[in-house]
Structure 1
Amino acid sequence: MSDTLPPFPGIDSTDWSPPAQTDPIEMVRITKPLVIYADADNANYQDNVWDEPRDSGWPRLNNWWDNSAPQPHQLVLRKFWKLVPGTFTHLYPGTHLQKSWAYEHGISTTDSESLTVQMGFSGGGVSAGVSATLSHSVTINDKQTSTIQFNVDPPASGTRVWLLWDLMYEFMIVKSGTNEVIPTGRYHGDVDFNNDDHYSGAYLDYRWTHLTVSSGILCPQDKVFP
């Protein structure tokens, strides 16, 4: 499935004011195992395991303790536009806009690693990994502080309303069939840390259950009113 941009909000008059962000639009909802961090602190064992119990391989989750498992859950991807601060403006005949913004956008190294580990892919970059995992094309650029410069011409007459948006991705782990984000932890289960040589009760925690990242894609919007 190709990546499509969410619609901009409608600019209905020169008195219109933009929201800080648009309403999120759900793009993907899937049920899949995720990687969770297991910590047997008393035995000094820690590792990443899939959040579905397995009978073989290691490290692995053997079983959840009673009443200590995450709720049945789904991975949801949503997208929305975030207003780039300081970009909303009105232009009149003869008022050319030439402006630069030092703006930090894109995904941080920490968030990139969190997505990569928890969704269970490696190599190829975060965009390729997320796209393959979700079967949906996703473009996420590395975090950078860019000096963004736009030259906006004035209208021949009337008023031009102009602003700049940053495309945001919202990743959520939610209770199945809802948009209710589940807790990150603490969950409890039995984990095989070392090929049946060490089997221990452990705390289990997701790195995130709600993560919003900038795609690094900036798009202008404008409308001219007579």
Structure 2
Amino acid sequence: MILEAFEEEDIHEFNMDLLALVNMTRSLDMMYREMESAGLMENKAHYKRCFDLFHKKYRDIRLESDVKDSLTLKVFFVGTSMEKLIDLAIGLAHIRDIGPSSTKVYPAEPENRDKIMSRISSGAYLRFFSGSKSRSMFLRRMPNGDIQMVYDPESFTDPKSPDFQLCTYHGCLNGFHREIDILTEASQFITINKSRFVFADKGPAVR
């Protein structure tokens, strides 16, 4: 497993931080859709501060919020390569197939690594299992050298899913600034049902 080299406490802390941003993004999107103005400006301020804290705390993963048809969270890996990400993906238990597109994939086995890499240029399609369902994600090389991961929105709240675990790997890769507390700021966010997010200080890591 690609997370075995990291401390359980570090894995858990990153997972909670990322889940906080995911949940706030979804809650803000719901507020926009339902035209809920109560608390919206305060929530946007907490959301922005959490974004700023995340990028001060972690250096190998970058997030962006995007508003088109809905408010979504974009994920980018910094300072890595498509080759490295494919190697990591092959090491994940639930990755089934990898290829340049959904119609041209190969079994995610070490012996297929060179074949896969020879057919991938600017992007890679990955099919995986989450629970009993087949899902997919896409890795896209950006002009600035970052790699965007277009994740499956249904599986991305599960730290056991391959797309989330790739994020965890990059969050823990070169360590992070433990003194930066994202969850305290996130706990001030008010959900659309007027409750606050509640986060555990400690808990089991998911490898």
TM bracket (short chain): under 0.3
TM-score, normalised on structure 1? Answer: 0.23
TM-score, normalised on structure 2? Answer: 0.24
Structure ranking higher in helix proportion:
2
Which has the higher Rg, Structure 1 or Structure 2? 1
Structure ranking higher in strand proportion:
1
